[in-house]
Amino acid sequence: METSPASAMRLLAPHLAAEPDDWYALCLAAQALIALDDCQRSLEMSGRAAQLNPSDDWPVRLQAIAHRNAGHTFDAPRIARHSVLVNPANWQTHYLVASTDLWADAATAQSMLAAEKARELAPDEPSTHSLVGQVALALGKSRLAIRSFEQALRLDPENSIAQHELARAHLRRLRIGKSLTGFLAVGRLDPSLPQTRINLHAIAIRAVQLLHYTIFVAFLIGQTLPPVAATLVAVIGIGASVWARYRGGPALMRFVAGLWRADRLLMVWASLLAAAGAVLIVRPLLSLGHRQTGNPPPHAGLQAVVLALLVGGVLTSWIRRVHYKPDYLRKRR
């Protein structure tokens, strides 16, 4: 029967009272305290275990994880690197270095070396391939990221993080068809999980960016061929809405609705683009009506409205990129 962290602590407390120098029991307690979000006591116990058995990397790794959960962006990467010095043959120490760098938003070429070393030592572990992909994505190497996520999914087809990140990597390379295929899994996943929300949020940002590019292209086409521009925007809008409603699933719809609370600026940006698309759609209809009445169509005025909305979208995206992060992205866990 599986023991809860609280039950584990109740069982370990009398043993540690009698045997305070049992480093293994101290590690078990530190691990349970991490699960209970008691970072300070976990640091104390893992630190004591590291003193008692300095040749084992487990207490050092627990220290790094406790520092990470406590939000210590300097100590967590430093101690993660120390765990490699203690045991360079354990893939988990290299994995910890790369994953901690990602958590601290400090991924570098050294992080990639650590992730690749973890994968080399544990090639059958899906998480090592997924980690290489995540570091590659953070460093802008989307092709390597795609290959890594695909390998992680070959080893573990239900790996939700790899599914999300692969879809995001395809979006980075503007592979719309493949990214949409990846999104089919989103609705079956739980957006209440922190990692799922982070990945969904990144996907939402990229989707709005792509919408902006599409509306801008339609605006340029509309200078000479308004009906073609209107058809392009209408097809994309209707297709995206139908897909989100019937293929993305209710979980995806709840996440999108929650973005009004989580990231208002992103939704303002999307609303400006939706308004620009609506103007592009109605413009040929207004032109047709004016031709029937003999009045000149208001081309210039509608073009100026679309351009103003696009500029407003650019300004909104700049403001949110500089000044804004959702709460669940600020809490680096």
The Cα-based distances of 217 to 139, 170, 229 in angstroms read 29, 21, 8
- Position 224 scores a pLDDT of 76
HSE-up (13 A, CA, CB side) for residue 276: 30
Residue pLDDT, tens place only, 166-175:
887 887 776 6
Cα 151 → chain centroid: 19
For the stretch 48-65, pLDDT in tens is 999 999 999 999 999 999
Residues of the chain with pLDDT under 50: 1, 187, 292, 328-333
Find where tokens 């190497």 sit.
Answer: 141
Q: Residue 191: what pLDDT?
A: 56
Where in the chain are the domains? Answer: 99-183
Domain 99-183 carries which CATH code? 1.25.40.10
Which one-letter DSSP state was computed for residue 333?
Answer: -
Provide the phi-psi class of 299: left if phi over 0, else alpha when psi is between -120 and 50, else beta: alpha
Q: Are residues 254 and 191 in contact, defined by beta-carbon separation less than 8 angstroms?
A: yes
Return the pLDDT at 182: 63
